[in-house]
Amino acid sequence: MGRLCARGEKTTAKTLLIETLQQLQEKRFTFSQFFSRCGLFCFLWVVTNYALVHSLRILDTTDVLALYASSVSFVYLLSWVILHEQFVGIRIVAVILCNTGIALLAYMDGVTRTITLGGVVLAAGAAAGSGVYKVTFKKLIGDVSFGQLSLFFTLIGFLNLLLMWPIFLALYLLRVEVIVWSETPWAVLGGAGLLSLLSNLLGNFGIVWTFEIFLTLGLAFAVPISAIVDVYIYAVVFEGMKLAGILLILIGFMLVLLPEDWPDYLTLLLRYRRTNRRKKTAKKPQDGTTGGHRSRLRTPSGRIK
C-alpha cells in the first residue's frame, strides 16, 4: 500500500507483484527456496515472540526490555562471525558488558530463585533469537526492495495463520495453556496486538524512510520510560544487582551503536577544542607595554615608582 501511494504513475498491486517476483528471479531465488526460508523465519519469529511474552509473566517489564535491548550485542557478534563485518574493539567490550548485565539480572533474587533465572533465560533467549533472525535474514535474503520486504512479511503472516494454529490447539487441549474464555481481557489483548503490529511495521519498514540507528535508539528510551511506570504504578524498587545489571546492559547498548570510526571523531573534537583554546589565549590583552614586556619603572597598577 505504501508503494502504491508513493508512486505518481498508475500502478496496480498485480504490477508490483510481478516486478517483485522478477527481482527475486534476478537474485536466482526459486519459489521453493524463498518459501522454505520464509518458513524458517516464521519459526524464529514465533519462538522469539513467545519467549519474550512468556518472560513478562515472570519479570518486571523494565527487566525484560533491558534484557531484550542486549539483542544489539548479539547482532554485532553474529555479524562479525557470519557476515565477516569489521572487528571493533569497543563493541566487543559492549558485548562483555551486556553479558555481565544479563548474569547480574539472572541472580538478582539469589541463587535459589530458579523462576527468576528462568525468566531471564527466556528474555535473553528472545534477544538472541532476534539477533539470529536479523543476521540470518541479511545472510540468506540480502538487501531487498520495499516490495520484496512486503511480500516476505506477507508470506510469513500466511505461514503463521496456516501452520501455527494446530500448535495452539494442541497446547489448549493438552492443558499446557489454560484459557478461561470468560475471564480473558479481550480489550487489553486487542490493544496489545495492535501495538505489536505497529511496532513490527515501524521496525521492519521504518528503515526505508529513516536511519536504522534512530529505530534502535527507541529501545534505549523505552527502558527508562518503563522504569518510571514501574516505580510509580507498580512500586518496583531498583537497587543492588538489578539496577547494576540494567545499567550495564544500557551502557553496552550505547557502546554498540558507536560508529566504527569513532576514534577519528574523538580526535577531531579534541583538536577543535585545543585550537579554540589557543585562539582564546592569543586574543587576551597582555600586561605592560605593547611589546609584552613589563616596565621596571612602573608598578603592576601602572603608577610610576
The answer, yes or no, to whether residue 263 has pLDDT greater than 80, is no
Q: What are the cell numbers at 20? A: 517483485
More confident position, 255 or 291: 255
Question: For residue 294, what pLDDT is reported?
Answer: 54
Q: Are 6 and 149 in contact (CB under 8 A)?
A: no
Q: Are 208 and 146 in contact (CB under 8 A)?
A: yes
> What φ, ψ does residue 182 adopt, rounded to 5°?
-75, -20
The answer, yes or no, to whether residue 5 has pLDDT greater than 50, is no
Question: For residue 151, what pLDDT is reported?
Answer: 80
Model confidence pTM above 0.85? no
Q: What is the pLDDT of residues 158-205, one digit of tens each?
A: 888 888 888 888 888 888 888 888 888 899 889 988 988 888 887 777
> What φ, ψ does residue 304 adopt, rounded to 5°?
-80, 135
Q: First and final CA of the chain: distance in angstroms?
A: 89
- How confident is the model over 59-87, as a mean pLDDT? 90
- How confident is the model over 225-242, as a mean pLDDT? 90
The answer, yes or no, to whether residue 301 has pLDDT greater than 70, is no
Question: For residue 304, what pLDDT is reported?
Answer: 59
**Band of pLDDT at residue 38, cut at 50, 70 and 90:** confident
- How confident is the model over 207-216, as a mean pLDDT? 66
Q: Name the average pLDDT for the chain.
A: 81
More confident position, 46 or 142: 46
Q: In this prediction, what percent of the chain has a pLDDT beyond 90?
A: 23
Q: How far apart are CA 88 and CA 94, in angstroms?
A: 10
- How confident is the model over 53-82, as a mean pLDDT? 91
Instruction: Please report, for the chain, the start and end positions of each structural domain, with discontinuous segments joined by +.
Output: 23-178+209-270
Ranking 46-55, 149-158, 270-279 by mean pLDDT, the lowest is 270-279
In 3-state terms, the chain is what percent helix, strand and coil (to 5)?
Answer: 75, 0, 25
Alpha-helical regions (H) of 107-239: 114-140, 146-163, 165-173, 186-205, 212-233
**Band of pLDDT at residue 122, cut at 50, 70 and 90:** very high
More confident position, 206 or 65: 65
Q: How far is CA 275 from the centre of its chain?
A: 37
Q: How far apart are CA 96 and CA 73, in angstroms?
A: 9
Question: For residue 293, what pLDDT is reported?
Answer: 52
Burial track 258-275 (b if 16+ CB lie within 10 A, e otherwise)? eeeeeeeeeeeeeeeeee
**Band of pLDDT at residue 8, cut at 50, 70 and 90:** very low
Question: For residue 154, what pLDDT is reported?
Answer: 84
Q: How far is CA 206 from the centre of its chain?
A: 13
Question: For residue 55, what pLDDT is reported?
Answer: 93
More confident position, 152 or 29: 152
Question: For residue 127, what pLDDT is reported?
Answer: 93
